Structure 1
Amino acid sequence: MSGLRERKKRQTYEAISEAAIALFLEKGFDRVSVAEVAAAADVSKPTLFRYFPAKEDLVLHRFADHREEAARVVRARPDGVGPLDALHRHFRDGLARRDPVTGLSDEPDVLAFHQLLYGTPSLVARLYAYQGASERALADALGGGVRARLAAGQIVAVQRILAEQNWRRIEAGEAADAVEADAVSAADLAFRQLAEGLSL
């Protein structure tokens, strides 16, 4: 029974967020009230806030599953593969898959979502909070302590910069296929610089 309950909760969570994002894309984040989102999703405001503590989380939930992704990659890496090599491979795999998190996706719905995200200051601020959680999880996976926190901060920053650079080019009208080679080269350069400075 608990499995069914969890599935229903997840469905409600997704339905609320999808209704919210559709409204935000149509009208703009700041022009849509939480009450409008609740009405569109056919839930009460208290129910909405049980699932999403802040209005920004209605959008940023798409990043929630990625908060511990880097930590998972480090923990699941094969024997003999260093943490940085594992993260580098994972990022390159993401580029090849056109994973939206890498910024290398020219799918219209992904592009519209990124325009909403990066064009709304409060969402960008909330995104940094999510990235802070990513840093903490990655630091724990790297063994904890100041050195691990410093390394995690640099790695997460590099991934963010790479993704933003890719997205900016696609937003300017370039196709993902045309950007891919430069995106891979930039990722290789960034992770090489990290390796030289971090010795992971």
Structure 2
Amino acid sequence: MSEMGLRERKRQRMYQAVSEVAIGLFLERGFDAVSVAEVAAAAEISKPTLFRYFPAKEDLVLHRIADHEGEAARVVVEGRAEGLAPLPALRRHFLDGLAAQDPVTGLNDHPAVRAFYDLLYGTPSLVGRLYGYLERAEAALAEALGADLDARLAAGQIIAVRRILAEENWRRIAAGERVADVRADAVAAAERAFAVLSAGLPRLT
């Protein structure tokens, strides 16, 4: 492996390790009760080093889902390679995520996942920062769809639908329902939502 490849792997390990330390502290004591200096000390790095990796305190938490930022765009590109139009590819991907209980779909009741999403949705500054991630996901998807106004409008609708579906699943899980009780409704809701998208965005089908 090249030196650049090794350097990038080391960098990614650092991101992961510091994020996990921070999330552990936040889950234990609450996001607002833990300072960045305390996170840096627990991770055994300096505060300036921490800020080189994570520009904002909220990014320490959101790093865990940052790899989903370009996910919809990747699905579209990979779907085209398989001969699938964008919306069928995105529909299949979301339904596959529900089947796998991917936490990003909201359909996961593992205690560690529940604790993380309780932290995320229960902290206003994290919710605010999350919308920045969603905006970047929307921009990446728009680029994959063609980068014109129509693509931007479509991307906004698609990202909103995925977010609302996941939030509804998570709302029910957080209220105490089991995955087994939510799954059929989650699949049906996703099917309806993508049918509506397909009707309104025929060029993507």
Shorter-normalised TM-score: what interval?
over 0.9
Q: CA deviation at 1:181?
A: 0.5
- Deviation of 1:6 after TM superposition, in Å, equals 1.8
Q: Deviations over 1:47-86 (max 9, x none)?
A: 1001000000000011211111000000011444210010
For residues 108-147 of structure 1, give each alpha carbon's deviation from its aligned partner in whole angstroms, at most 9, with x where no partner exists: 0000000000000110011110000000000010011110
In 2, the alpha carbon distance for the partners of 1:11 and 1:75 equals: 27
* Match 1:75 to one of 66, 77, 81: 77
2:33 corresponds to: 31
- Partner Cα distance (2:83, 2:177) in 1: 38
Which of 156, 161, 164 is residue 158 of structure 1 equivalent to? 161
Question: Could you say which residue in structure 2 is the equivalent of 1:102?
Answer: 105
CA distance in structure 2 between the partners assigned to 1:3 and 1:84 by the alignment: 34
Q: CA deviation at 1:7?
A: 1.8
Equivalenced residues, count: 200
Aligned-residue offset at 1:10: 1.4
Matched with 1:192 is 195
Counterpart residue identity of residue 128, structure 2: A
Q: What is aligned with 2:134?
A: 131
Which residue of structure 1 aligns with residue 146 of structure 2?
143
The C-alpha deviation readout for 1:140-180, integer Å capped at 9, x for no partner, is 10011110000000000000000000001001111112111
Sequence identity, in percent? 68
Give 5+ residue unaligned stretches, structure 2.
none
- Letter paired with 1:132: E
Structure 1: which amino acid aligns with 2:166? A
Distance apart, 1:8 and its partner CA:
1.6
Q: What SS is found at the alignment partner of 2:32?
A: helix
Q: Are 1:63 and 1:130, in contact at CA under 8 Å, matched by a contact in 2?
A: no
Q: Matched residues in 2 for 1:67 and 1:40: separation?
A: 28
| Aligned-partner residue type, residue 8 of structure 2 | E
What stretches of structure 1 of length at least 5 have no aligned partner? none
Instruction: Measure how far apart 1:2 and its partner are.
Output: 2.4
The alignment's TM-score, normalised by the length of structure 2, stands at 0.95
1:19–1:37 contact (8 Å) kept in structure 2:
yes
